């Protein structure tokens, strides 16, 4: 009995690379219940509550990424003191040096852990060397917390934000566990004013939080995981073994999977934050309803797209230096946005395609002299949504495949080896997968008013009703889940 208890305690306190902590795991759910109990006790004790949440956030990151949690501390301490020094320095060149130092530390960590092997492989032929992959572990969520911390130092440099006085407050902001490892990228200007506000979770906030958590769990643990394990992975692992129609529905499956996976995480992060008394901005707004690629990036991963706009696109000159420069700036922004997702030519192609599409759409809109706010109607709107959706699907092929050759093979199968006649067999062989895909797409394309009604319904439910919904969803997850925990897709970024 003693050995069994000690083993459980060891599992609780040590990092397991095969089972990192994620929101949809049973371990996190039990820990979160205990966390909420202590959090409620400390409700009126600001400093103690902030210390407790910060410690739990570091523990959460350790359970997600292991020993590399110390990188979070390096980024936090570095940017806190650089921002403070930046605020009291009046000399322009000194302020520029300080913000460059912040960029070097954050982007330096990002480049080392994420891009060393990529650049090594690319440059090795120049000196006649042989490329051998270096064993460099990619810490979970490093792209998110470095970008979040950079937004703080850049805002202080631009004098759009006053730096914090206490390191603890900044550590709380950077490490806040709901959004730590996969976003959304929460801006300091939105989050910091909430830190010392009186902690009060209204009935509306609690109900919204429960709805977002339930919605996120359903998207991730029911739809995304099931269609991934039982269909999408098989197609993408060996596209040449499957016909064009199987590859096409594999692409449709991944298009739904990545949305349900990432927006599911964002929904849970937003919901957990609401239960703790904090509001995060929405990160997704039904992106596959978009009428153009521009509209898509107003709806998909909004925290990243607005970050790239405010800190990269505008810094490059935005649309202030003529039309040609605007198109080039859009392309550069999306190429770097693709590279942010990973060190691979596939990600560069993905970003490049989106950059070209954004530039083409802006050019067409300029030629038509149409304002940004104008929208299509009727059959034109439907056609625009279908065209945009399939362009996004095409780009996901390069995003998902590990090699460029795999992407070309998949597209070749779709366009040259289609075999539509086997569609009935495909449906028959993957009934559960196609049922969940149909449910997922129907829910996604349903009117926004439906979600608003569901949210209000959950808010009005008594506590026992909310608990019953959780029990039903957990039972459903247990019935269909795979044996292994499926990590969130965006953990790799």
Taking the C-alpha atoms of residue 178 and residue 268, their distance in angstroms, rounded to an integer, is 8
Q: Catalytic residue among 132, 298, 301, 341, which?
A: 341
Show Cβ contacts of residue 161 under 8 Å, excluding neighbours closer than 6 positions.
Answer: 152, 155, 188, 189, 192
Phi and psi angles of residue 301, each rounded to the nearest 5 degrees, phi first: 40, 60
Handedness of CA 20, 26, 30, 33 (dihedral sign): positive
Annotation marks residue 341 as catalytic: yes
Reference 254, options 280, 236, 281, 279; nearest CA is: 236
Phi and psi angles of residue 219, each rounded to the nearest 5 degrees, phi first: -60, -45
DSSP line for 77-127: HHHHHHHHHHHH---HHHHHHHHHHHHHHHHHHHHHHHHHHHHHHHHGGGG
Show Cβ contacts of residue 402 under 8 Å, excluding neighbours closer than 6 positions.
Answer: 344, 346
Taking the C-alpha atoms of residue 210 and residue 455, their distance in angstroms, rounded to an integer, is 9
Catalytic residue numbers, as ranges: 341
């Amino acid at each position: 009995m003693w050995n069994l208890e000690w083993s459980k305690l060891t599992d609780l306190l040590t990092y397991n690379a095969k089972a990192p902590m994620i929101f949809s795991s049973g371990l996190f759910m039990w820990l979160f219940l205990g966390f909420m109990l202590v959090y409620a006790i400390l409700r009126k004790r600001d400093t103690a509550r902030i210390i407790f949440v910060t410690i739990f956030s570091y523990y959460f990151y350790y359970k997600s990424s292991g020993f590399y949690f110390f990188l979070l501390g390096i980024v936090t301490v570095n940017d806190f003191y650089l921002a403070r020094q930046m605020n009291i320095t009046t000399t322009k060149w000194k302020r520029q040096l300080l913000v460059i130092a912040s960029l070097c530390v954050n982007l330096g960590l990002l480049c080392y852990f994420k891009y060393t092997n990529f650049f090594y492989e690319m440059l090795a032929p120049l000196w006649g060397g042989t490329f051998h992959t270096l064993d460099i572990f990619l810490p979970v969520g490093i792209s998110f917390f470095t970008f979040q911390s950079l937004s703080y130092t850049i805002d202080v440099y631009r004098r759009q934000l006053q730096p914090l006085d206490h390191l603890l407050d900044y550590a709380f902001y950077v490490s806040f566990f709901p959004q730590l490892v996969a976003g959304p990228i929460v801006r300091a200007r939105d989050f910091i004013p909430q830190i010392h506000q009186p902690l009060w979770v209204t009935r509306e906030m609690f109900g919204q939080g429960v709805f977002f958590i339930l919605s996120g769990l359903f998207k991730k643990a029911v739809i995304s995981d099931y269609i991934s394990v039982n269909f999408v992975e098989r197609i993408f692992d060996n596209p040449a073994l499957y016909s064009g129609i199987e590859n096409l529905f594999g692409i449709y499956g991944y298009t739904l999977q990545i949305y349900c996976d990432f927006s599911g995480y964002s929904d849970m992060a937003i919901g957990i934050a609401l239960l703790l008394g904090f509001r995060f901005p929405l990160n997704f707004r039904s992106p596959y309803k978009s009428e153009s690629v521009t509209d898509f990036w107003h709806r998909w991963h909004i925290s990243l797209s607005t970050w790239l706009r405010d800190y990269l696109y505008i810094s490059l000159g935005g649309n202030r230096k003529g039309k040609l420069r605007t198109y080039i700036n859009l392309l550069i922004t999306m190429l770097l946005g693709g590279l942010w997702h990973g060190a691979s030519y596939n990600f560069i192609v993905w970003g490049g395609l989106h950059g070209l599409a954004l530039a083409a759409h802006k050019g067409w809109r300029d030629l038509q002299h149409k304002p940004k706010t104008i929208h299509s109607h009727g059959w034109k709107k439907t056609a625009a949504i279908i065209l945009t959706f399939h362009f996004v699907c095409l780009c996901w092929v390069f995003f998902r495949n590990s090699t460029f050759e795999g992407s070309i093979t998949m597209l070749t199968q779709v366009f040259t080896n289609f075999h539509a006649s086997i569609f009935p067999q495909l449906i028959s062989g993957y009934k559960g997968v196609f049922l969940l895909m149909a449910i997922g797409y129907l829910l996604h394309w349903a009117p926004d008013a439906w979600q608003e009604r569901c949210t209000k319904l959950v808010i009005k439910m008594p506590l026992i009703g909310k608990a019953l919904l959780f029990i039903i969803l957990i039972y459903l997850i247990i019935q269909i889940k795979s044996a292994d925990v499926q990590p969130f897709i965006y953990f790799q970024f």
